[in-house]
Structure 1
């Protein structure tokens, strides 16, 4: 019997000077090719089915290398491995991204040696704040409120044809740069999308020139279906980030279509002094708007600016007024919106 093809999929992760976190997955499959805007819809549909029908390597053993240090990890039943890397020497504070090598130790593979590079972010000393952003209907137009439209967009589009909201890249680049243009404020992405869509999301963000950042997605399955629908799983990585970076205030960005306003309001109650601002993109109707506005008023009563915005220009004006981005960056976002629309 011939040996299988094995692929390591490392996920962008995060850390601090003294320790890094590494997460990834080991699969029995070849990586999908990059998407093209000319790809027919049947090909997009087939690739999405392949992503969802992943074949995990349960119990795979990987070796993780950073500098002169080595660690080993064992994948769980669904192929995931997660490891905390305590470092003998702190990382270079001037570097934002660090390269960690991941190598397959077992099982044997047809394409041996199997190895991949994991990118790990550590916020630089220049960072004044961090951003946590939702993806679907916040960055990526997903039409989550309509099951049919969401299905069509997800399964028949690809990373080259799916649409971002106008001006969102210019807004996030401005947040990354900050007032001084060299702050390099880290941006983290949290979503209810499954980890199976990770490669699609990376390709989409690179095409749209969104700042690279660690992602926290969701592991689907019947037992986790309720958690995916309630979106409460998003709270765990946000709390983890708040704990990991106690010196940084956080800007939370989401949309009104699902539960982001409620989840962010819960975080305000827990950590009012840690939240610098909350932005909610308005993608819903008037009844939902009233709920979001009431939550915004409650957040402001606790000292946290929270606003429902219609577009990226209003979002830029809001964060500029708070001193998070320079006033001239608003015009850059406005120009990007005009060009992209």
Structure 2
């Protein structure tokens, strides 16, 4: 008998029973807050659009101020993880007069894939879709909510798929206590970007055509509960917008076990590559978890589609050994894996390969100095 599977299934049953009972009690006592829709930024093509989001009770989490107290940050994070999802909510999705309906599941999630009659224009990156609640088991707002759907233009040069934790944001994901402090006691203002990342990503989005339409996708194992925090962080730091493809943090499908990290990221990246068969990609991650293994396997499956792999070096033990092993596998396909301590060194390589303008190197260097407070210095024209 598979005791692990039996334990998980039993715990799932208990969790669902408790959630259902709690929801019924709160509904009976009228303790529910008004229901809202949280649309997640998604992506699509001109022949189909993908809409995803979650229906929750409104926890009234306001955008962070630059100087929030630790107690406020902790309280807001508690609200995020104690989200009261609302099942059985009927949502109307309206795109240029085309109306569709979808119902939220037991965890409050909903998704819809549809072929639009109104073909998205090929000159702009984002398209807006209106959502509103038609029917819900508890009181709800009648407001309209807006979902953003990214459709890469036909003249996009390439796409970028990036990790978030310890690639864009300093999280210390390899150190449990340090990560807990960063995640729970900081907000979008006080969490720190890696030096130079904003300017480097802006340069990649601009490309060599200068149209700022190269699409970005952020794939992370962070839970959906932190979506608003991560989105706000990207906006505050002027990091290119892109769909945030996060993970449900629950018991189903072994979501508490480490295997889910690789499976989730691999699945999302493969789906992106298959969605855009005519678009090549740059992959960006860090050396702290499994990014280098995931990206190498992706490169083996799509050898003609991966332009380069940038791995931020967190200076961990055995990093060099890991990279050397994976670099050898990728090199057989003509794909470079670049181990870089910061965005400055990665930008030098990107300029050499023709992904970005060479002038962007200095912009990344200035951004790096602003992020770190370091004194002006000579940019070393080398890669680690």
1:235 and 2:266 matched: yes
Moved more, 132-141 or 262-271: 262-271
**How far off is 1:226 after superposition?**
1.3
2:305 corresponding residue in structure 1: 274
1:106 and 2:135 matched: yes
Unaligned runs of 5+ in 1: none
Contact 2:43 2:149 in 1 (8 A): yes
**How far off is 1:114 after superposition?**
3.7
Contact 1:96 1:122 in 2 (8 A): yes
1:257 and 2:288 matched: yes
**How far off is 1:215 after superposition?**
1.0
Q: How does 1:162-201 map to 2 (within 5 A)?
A: 162-201=191-230
Contact 1:254 1:260 in 2 (8 A): yes
The Cα offsets for residues 216-269 of structure 1, whole Å up to 9 and x where unpaired, read as 000011331115664321111111110110000010000000000000011111
| TM-score, normalization by structure 2 | 0.86
Candidates 144, 154, 173, aligned match of 2:173? 144
| TM-score, normalization by structure 1 | 0.97
1:132 corresponding residue in structure 2: 161
1:52 corresponding residue in structure 2: 81
Contact 1:227 1:233 in 2 (8 A): no
2:36 corresponding residue in structure 1: 7
The Cα offsets for residues 307-340 of structure 1, whole Å up to 9 and x where unpaired, read as 1111111110111111100111111101111122
Larger radius of gyration: 2
Contact 1:7 1:31 in 2 (8 A): no
1:32 and 2:61 matched: yes
1:337 and 2:365 matched: no
1:16 corresponding residue in structure 2: 45
Distance in structure 1 (CA, Å) of the matches to 2:322 and 2:137 = 55
**How far off is 1:289 after superposition?**
2.2
Distance in structure 1 (CA, Å) of the matches to 2:168 and 2:324 = 21
1:120 and 2:149 matched: yes
**How far off is 1:4 after superposition?**
3.9
1:311 and 2:342 matched: yes
Unaligned runs of 5+ in 2: 1-28, 373-384
The Cα offsets for residues 28-51 of structure 1, whole Å up to 9 and x where unpaired, read as 223410111211101101110110
**Matched residue count:** 341
Contact 1:101 1:116 in 2 (8 A): yes
**Secondary structure at the counterpart of residue 307 of structure 2:** strand
**Secondary structure at the counterpart of residue 300 of structure 2:** helix
Contact 1:292 1:308 in 2 (8 A): yes
2:24 corresponding residue in structure 1: none
Distance in structure 2 (CA, Å) of the matches to 1:211 and 1:93 = 19
Distance in structure 2 (CA, Å) of the matches to 1:310 and 1:257 = 12
1:86 and 2:124 matched: no
- What root-mean-square deviation, in Å, do the aligned CA atoms of Structure 1 and Structure 2 show? 1.4
